Structure 1
Amino acid sequence: MEFNKTDYAVQIEDLTVAYDAKPVLWDIDLDIPQGKLMAIIGPNGAGKTTLLKAMLGLLVPVTGTVHFFQETDNSLRKLKNKVAYVPQSGSVDWDFPATVLDIVLMGCYGRLGFIKRPGKKDREDALQCLYKVGMEGYASRQISQLSGGQQQRVFLARALMQTADIYFMDEPFKGVDIQTEKAIVLLLKELKESGKTVVVVHHDLQTVPEYFDWVTLINIKVIASGPVEEVFHEQNLKKAYRSTGNLLKNAV
């Protein structure tokens, strides 16, 4: 499938990331078209979260570049209104003294700055974002009082509040119940249908064909990337997971 350069949301060239001189990602070349719902899959330690953080500028690579929408200046300052990030739930301090509404309103700080306070319209928008994730009745609840699935929904609402063009999500289904998972999938597909690009670190091979239309398989290097129906097959999975077992059993 051919794309023009202007069709790409993210372009990565020669990206290498290392921890203590040990490469975690090696010579990554990856183009992510706009308007796709993409899964990043691979075994534990393959560099999935590292790739996400490197794209976001949260990690400094040894070599390589990341470009969004063909921009030459990819500073977080310039991209703050274009990129939203939902981290792994385990990396968040859930004891932080804030209400659900406070957390969602943080999504508009990129637009307002940290000095200007959110106004009435911002609060109405935040409540609407909570409604979209089924959490409108929890606005005044302390974030620490919520279940894991509820907390994940709140962070999705915060990402929606940013009205970004690209959404990065690190295992948004981890630790949530099936009802929450289905609600998140529906939301992600709605974002994709509205022209947004959604990049998700994912671990469940069985749901890839149902949830996503684009997939990238990595294991330190990019094994394959493209439409699910073209690259999500046993041969590529064996390369990524270095296994001879039937990884696609019951998956497709």
Structure 2
Amino acid sequence: MKKTKTLAILGFLLLLSVCTAVAVNATNILQGLSNEDEININSVSVNLILTPEEKEAAINLVLVAPTIKDLLKTADNYTVKASEIFDIRETYEGITLVPKPGVALVTLELNRDYGEEFSVQFVKATVDIEQMEITNTEVKPEVRKPKIIENPMLPNELVERASEFDGVVVTVSGKVSLLGEVFSSIFELDKTVTVFYAHEEATIDVSDIENGDTVTVTGKFVAPNTIYALKIEKRL
């Protein structure tokens, strides 16, 4: 039975990005979550037609392809997901995302550790579900980045170069706002960068920090504008 949900645009974008996701090392595959059959968002609608079984089959097919297997041998870890491929069509009711029948897009993110640097490489493969064959493979260039940027940056500079510093430990200084005003362990720097001060890797004491204070934050940056703090220093 189809299920229909009316959501805000933000909810739609989040749901659309959810597909069978697998976090793996070189030998393990974990089956992810499936999507709803259909989503309606005001004047935007989309049908999600791939079943969890089809997504898993597409992923397994790609992972055993010779080119992909060679790439995986060089990776320290990777993630993989399968999703529909959509055509965008305009109708009198608004914009409709129409999935291409019988095909899946499998996306891999490969990560490699080079000591003081790390790299990210994306691979996209189009799979014909009915024929169970890969019809196209696109291997993106490997992008190497330093793990740590020691020179302090301004929040707007960081956001303007978000893709360059994604995944890198950075140091940023700015004025605090929103601290204690939202139901989460976050604040903003210069109303530009969101800082999480309590997360899986660290919990930072911010009891002596108030909105309006200038602080220096060191932490892992996640594009487009989030830092998971590892150290916070108040500037006097």
Larger radius of gyration: 2
Is the shorter-chain TM-score for this pair beyond 0.5, marking a shared fold?
Answer: no
The structure in which a higher percent of residues are helix is: 1
For normalisation by structure 2, the TM-score amounts to 0.27
User: Which structure's relative contact order is higher, taking Cα pairs within 8 Å and 6+ residues apart?
Assistant: 1
The structure in which a higher percent of residues are strand is: 2
For normalisation by structure 1, the TM-score amounts to 0.26
